[in-house]
Amino acid sequence: MASLNVGNLGEYLREQRRAAELSLRQLADAAGVSNPYLSQIERGLRKPSAEVLQQVAKALRISAETLYVRAGILDEREREELETRAVILADPSINERQKNVLLQIYDSFRKENGFEPEPQPGADTDTDAGSDAVTHPHS
């Protein structure tokens, strides 16, 4: 099954590279990987690491999470959650406290709908301690 994911990934990368009008060599240079290695990925012979996928995604100007799903590293729901979190965290119009509150609300809605929140770096996410440690805004 992993080879199917890798083949699917390779086909997708080739399509994205062609859509970006990049040669294999140009993409390899932009992503910081060797030309033969990138060729093997496109042909489904190699399964790249998440780091390599991130470099390739950046060079193609596409979502790394999309490549992670294609490679079987993430499932679709995880990708959607990560992209939602990334949009919130990248928004320059709100401050850090507001971002944290939004993420807490997002997690509570996901949990209410049967999805467990993903642990955040530096956050106390132990479910027992986390509920006590989280400050809920009361207007």
Q: Residue 51 is encoded by which pair of tokens?
A: 């780091």
Alpha carbons 120 and 103: distance in angstroms, whole number? 10
Can you tell me which residue has the tokens 């400050």?
135
CATH fold of the domain at 2-71 = 434 Repressor (Amino-terminal Domain) (1.10.260)
User: Is the sign of the CA dihedral 44, 12, 2, 55 positive or negative?
Assistant: positive
Residue 2 binned pLDDT confidence (cut-offs 50, 70, 90): very low
pLDDT of residue 117: 54
pLDDT digits (tens, 9 = 90+) for 13-64: 999 999 999 999 999 999 999 999 999 999 999 989 999 999 999 999 988 8
List the structure tokens of 117.
């929140």
Structure tokens at 28: 């390899």
Domain with CATH 1.10.260.40 in the chain: 2-71
Mean pLDDT of the chain: 81
Does the pLDDT value for residue 123 go beyond 50?
no
The reported pLDDT for the residue numbered 122 is 46
> What is this structure's pTM?
0.57
